A and B are shown apart, each in its own frame.
Chain A
Amino acid sequence: MCVSMLSVVFAITQGSVNLSPYAVWQALLGQGSGLNQTLVLELRLPRVMAAFATGGLLAVAGALMQILLRNPLADPYVLGISGGASVAALAAILLGISGVLMSGMAFLGAVLSTLLVFGLSARLGNTATMRLLLTGVVIAAGWGALITLMLALAPPHKIPGMLYWLMGDLSYASTPWLAWLVLVPTCLILMPLGRSLNVLARGPLQAAALGVNVKSLERFVFLLASLLTAIAVTTAGSVGFVGLVIPHMLRMVLGNDQRLILPASALAGGCLVTLADTLARTVIAPEQLPVGVITALLGVPTFLYLLQRGRL
């Protein structure tokens, strides 16, 4: 909690323009020069908030997916959710649509993909999660092909924007509030469900034996994770790696108790993306990097280090 507060504060004080922490503080209080206020309140603050919320959403979605699929490789994107969103967003870019409409299309794409996967794998028995996983992977591959097709046919001047979106980029994020409106209630809803989720993580048969309504819980978890991913993708494009690595890291450190893991994921994911985006904005300023590159570059060595220490 403290670390996450610090990361947000750090992110707001850093930028390609040097502002002293005092100047930033003044701007936050609505004092100081008009220029500083614009920089901090109009540019930095919304972006940092969007970064934190995106990271939180992705990490929680990843944790949920790993419980649902009982597969350590599951991440929010494995079921094709980001693929659907990407196809819709790239189509929007190709059609010259931007801003809120583009976010809306990305969201619709994510929802469409979710319903597709869910609908196709709905006739199920015990193999439920297996079917779900396979359906998702195949549909994700299909979206991937469509993305490649669109990149190949796109006019050259639109390609940089499309690539940035695919790598995840917070400079598109116009408003962070939608993401926060979803993240906070989700954490509150998941609190009382922690115990059931703990049982579910051990397997559906055990869970059923212990009196958990497995089917409806699984369905709820899937839809919730999809919603979280859709909102995250809508805010920042497909930022990779956060949903996969954050829950694992936390499990190594905190043990496998979902009551702890889920809220911790929200905070740690938020920190990672906030810090990564701060680097993306400043490291080779004035050139700007997509945040997805940084999350992966930061995440991979950290994750490997934790693996080597043998706690997974």
Chain B
Amino acid sequence: MVNPMRSLLSISALLLSGWAFVSNALADPICVVDDRGRDVCIDHAAMRIAALSPGATELIYAAGAGDNVVAVVSYSDYPEAAKSVTSVGSHTRLDLERLISLQPDLILAWGTGNPTEQIETLERLGLPVYYVEPHEFEDIARNIDNLGALAGTSKRAKEEAKRFRTGIDVLHERYKQAPRVKTFYQVWDEPLMTMNGSHYISKVVDLCGGDNVFADSPRLIPRLSQEAVLLKNPEAIIAGGMGERNANWLEKWRVFADLLATQKGNLFFVPPSLIQRPTPRLLEGAQILCEKLDIARARR
């Protein structure tokens, strides 16, 4: 005969131990807040990560989790190792089939770059999505920290984030009292484009003691006429662009002898790959840009 009381006890003991087992498996889900302020929680460190923008790829590698990246998009050209990871199309149009067949356990999405419909589909299929959209220097450092936490590489990530924060602080200290330089940063040549004060490139200019002459422009990436630039009469012109050989853009400004930047010879080129992506390499780009503005100050 089985004692009913006893079997009840053993069942509840079984249930309890089962619960303990389950709660152990679920112990401490990893939770971080992404750039859209959403809570992103995963049960265990992400081992198969899909980075859906070149910038996100750089950030996840910087966080020390490059080995866990299984999918990238076109133009993910840094670091070198990212070039050999499977591509799932361009960031504007993803090959969802290929992406899902890689069975990622974490998606690093680019809210303003990836098509909303496709990211919604991924979320509907139950994949955790972390939005990477840094706007400030601190966002870059925080993203590295967060990605390190999600991928279980916090130690590396914290070091890298600290290196970045320290580097930016050093520049801030060095240039906060420096005489200001009226600066025009040329994002693109035809059509002529720059960025307004809320863009992170403008924040680099500001960090280096420069004043973006189009900081008050209402649009993030204004298209300009040459006249508008001449009217602002910047003391320094800095060209970015797409490839690394757009220094000839600066030649066009030499025609205007009355332009302050032309008079002083302050026409500079900063490698766009170092400054036109919000990634840890921005620190290097900022250092170069700061040096250029220092040259401009020396020519006064």
Contact = CB atoms under 8 A, between A and B. Distances in A.
Nearest to B74: A287
Interface in A246-292: 281, 285-288
Nearest to B90: A287
Interface string A1-35: 00000000000000111000000000000000001
B120 A99 contact: yes
B152 interface: no
Contacts of B27: none
Contacts of A158: 112
A172 interface: yes
B93 A172 contact: no
Given A287-B74, A288-B89, A98 B96 contact: no
Given A164-B92, A164-B93, A287-B90, A35 B115 contact: no
Contact of A172 (B94, B98, B115): B115
B118 interface: yes
Contacts, number: 79
B3 interface: no
Interface in A36-67: 38-39, 42-44
Given A44-B97, A286-B87, A287-B90, A98 B117 contact: yes
A38 B221 contact: no
Contacts of A15: 97
A125 interface: no
A174 interface: yes
Interface residues of A, number: 28
Looking at chain B's contact residues, the main secondary structure is mixed
Contact of A288 (B94, B120, B121): B94
Given A171-B118, A172-B115, A156 B221 contact: yes
B143 to A, nearest CB: 18
Nearest to A284: B89
A155 B120 contact: no
A99 B117 contact: yes
A39 B97 contact: yes
Interface in B76-106: 86-90, 92-98, 100-101, 103
A43 B117 CA distance: 12
Contacts of A98: 115-117, 120
Interface string A102-141: 0000000000000000000000000000000000000000
A277 B195 CA distance: 37
Interface in B39-94: 74, 86-90, 92-94
A155 B87 contact: no
A161 interface: yes
B29 interface: no
B95 A285 contact: yes
B31 interface: no
Contacts of B86: 286
Contacts of B96: 43, 171
Nearest to A44: B97
Contacts of B118: 171
A288 B116 CA distance: 16
B217 to A, nearest CB: 12
A211 interface: no
Nearest first, the 5 closest Cβ-Cβ pairs linking A and B are A160-B92, A98-B116, A286-B95, A286-B89, A288-B93
Interface of B: 74, 86-90, 92-98, 100-101, 103, 112-113, 115-118, 120-121, 124-125, 193, 219-221, 223
Interface of A: 15-17, 35, 38-39, 42-44, 98-99, 152, 155-158, 160-161, 164, 169, 171-172, 174, 281, 285-288
17 contacts: A16-B95, A35-B101, A42-B124, A43-B100, A44-B97, A98-B116, A152-B223, A158-B112, A164-B92, A171-B96, A171-B118, A172-B115, A285-B89, A285-B98, A286-B87, A286-B95, A288-B89
